[in-house]
Structure 1
């Protein structure tokens, strides 16, 4: 029984070896800083809103490895970002550039605000005209109202 328990414990402890932490060796401090910065600025295409440094997806691991290789080769930060954009599109960056394809994302909210404000202005200009028509009160209407009120008060007195 003790041997079985020891065997199970050993197997369970050996499974933790698969949860390895990725360690990257760099020749210079600048390369390491560039790698860390790119890990925090490039978005994982699979995870939607995680950086490749924060994501555990296989795609993010592959992207981290590619960034590491390109950094070790001495490529600049912009070269690596351009490679990722060419391969995965503008989505891989958190600040996509203003292009025809992304203009709706950049200008859409502004258009909605301008149209909404314009609609409010147009409707507010129409409202006073309606109010003027309802405020027309002449002597004839006043006399009819007074007559109705008098009749009502007489009915109450007769009861």
Structure 2
């Protein structure tokens, strides 16, 4: 099972999945995403930059990941702009009906392989600092916390995590 590139026509489905997960998070009292934060147009631009990758199950999206070459908005106080030792993950999502199948790990393992293929050594990501379950999930996968980054509203504080994969 390998992710495939997203296409512009997938933008609405990616946003719908994110909003569905955001509604579940809000209802569960988790602080991470809010419905409506991301638009299909934003996702289409990111798809055009070849950032989105998908797993499909019978044609429907079962998991997604967005991979970036750099992430200065989140990491610029810890990583120099010219530093090219990592790839960055955003938008890791698994459809709630596919929970427990290990798809998040599949996606992260796939990105780790891309890190190695690119001659890099580190996989970095972030999540809401107020989301202890997600922080524990990433720690269980071998990620180490590198500190909290504060932002002006409406952004919430983010914890940054990384894992050596070289």
TM-score, structure 1 as length reference: 0.26
**Larger % of strand: which?**
2
| Larger CA Rg, structure 1 vs 2 | 1
Higher relative contact order (CA 8 A, sep 6+): 2
**Larger % of helix: which?**
1
